[in-house]
Amino acid sequence: MDTKSFSVEKIQHIRDTVGGGKAISALSGGVDSSTCTVLAHRAIGDNLKSIFIDDGLMREGEPQEVQKIFAGLGIPVDIVDAQDEFFAALKGKFDPEEKRKAFRNTFYTVFGREVRKSDARFLVQGTIAADIIETKGGVKTQHNILEQIGIDPEAGYGFKVVEPIKDLFKHEVREVAAEVGLPESIHQRMPFPGPGLATRVVGEVTPERVAKVRKATTVVEQEIAALKPFQAFAVLLSDQGTGVVKGTRKFGDIVIVRSVESRDAMTAEPSRVPWEVLQKIAHRIVIEIPDVVRVAYEITPKPPATIEYI
């Protein structure tokens, strides 16, 4: 693929679509939304407002890190704190699809509000081909799919959606990201789902449960980074198991470690992580998150499992 002419064409397309008006970019710091943000910024400059929603479901330090990287690129990013709103929407929800829909609805309600506040009529977002295929195919309700499944964003939330990379797969997006000058920390960043850590908490998503999975995720990412997997993370199960802590039986949490190799996330194989690395991860997780008494490594490919847990 000719990434240079792709970028030139998309920049022109965004400029033509948004005209002299304003647009908001929904930036999460992942390679998809980062690429769209840079393309849109090149297209309309200061008429683009880039917003990072802090939904409380991000990894450790992520909002500030993303803001800093984009400041370095000359693109200011506003962080909108909507944590309470997301946790309120997720409260009492246990069903995976209900959780996904609650996330999506809150996500677009918050963006709708920001769009109206700033007089924008367009939301630029990083939907990619796999997102559309899997949502239309009924694999899951991906958070950023609206028009393709018959939801009119203008009627529902008050804006039109611009999706410059909706025909690309992940490896192609990475090439475009490098072409538009994004640093390696972004263009080679592990995919992280829109609904964030909510996809890695089985059962109810509460601030306390997210805090546990966030800590475990930091451990997994740190210990596994050198192996450069496609994706690696921790999952908190809703089941519990018995452990022994300081000679006393304790019914505690179970964390799953998942690491997969993939090209486009449509299929995936478990990574062959060395035993020593897994042992170190398990050791650190039970020490650093005392509620956890068991850690397991998952070896199911996709299909039949999906990569995320909800």
**Site of interaction with ligand XMP (CB under 6 A):** 134, 139-140, 142-144, 191, 193-195, 199, 231, 265, 302, 306-308
Q: Is the dihedral of CA 253, 259, 264, 266 positive or negative?
A: negative
Residue 296 tokens, joined: 């397991």
Nearer to ligand XMP, 134 or 204 (CB): 134
CB of 199 to ligand XMP, least distance (A): 6
Q: What are phi and psi of 208, to 5 degrees?
A: -65, -45
CB of 51 to ligand XMP, least distance (A): 16
Nearer to ligand XMP, 44 or 165 (CB): 165
Nearer to ligand XMP, 128 or 293 (CB): 128
CB of 56 to ligand XMP, least distance (A): 16
Nearer to ligand XMP, 161 or 265 (CB): 265
CB of 225 to ligand XMP, least distance (A): 17
CB of 156 to ligand XMP, least distance (A): 18
128 Cβ contact list (under 8 Å, min separation 6): 32, 165, 166, 168, 169, 170, 173
Strand partners, 244: 249
Please check whether residue 142 is in contact with residue 194, taking contact to mean a CB–CB distance below 8 angstroms.
yes
CB of 258 to ligand XMP, least distance (A): 10
CB of 308 to ligand XMP, least distance (A): 3
Which residue has 């944590």 as its token pair?
Answer: 83
Nearer to ligand XMP, 265 or 286 (CB): 265
Nearer to ligand XMP, 9 or 95 (CB): 95
Q: Are strands 122-124 and 160-162 parallel, antiparallel or unpaired?
A: parallel
Q: How far apart are CA 275 and CA 243, in angstroms?
A: 21
Q: How far apart are CA 223 and CA 74, in angstroms?
A: 32
Q: Smallest Cα–Cα separation from 156: which of 106, 221, 205?
A: 106
Q: How far apart are CA 231 and CA 107, in angstroms?
A: 24
Which residue has 């939904």 as its token pair?
Answer: 55
CB of 242 to ligand XMP, least distance (A): 30
Rounded alpha-carbon distances, angstroms, from residue 273 to 216, 223, 226, 254, 289:
17, 10, 11, 19, 22
Nearer to ligand XMP, 254 or 260 (CB): 260
Residue 143 tokens, joined: 């958070």
Q: How far apart are CA 274 and CA 100, in angstroms?
A: 33
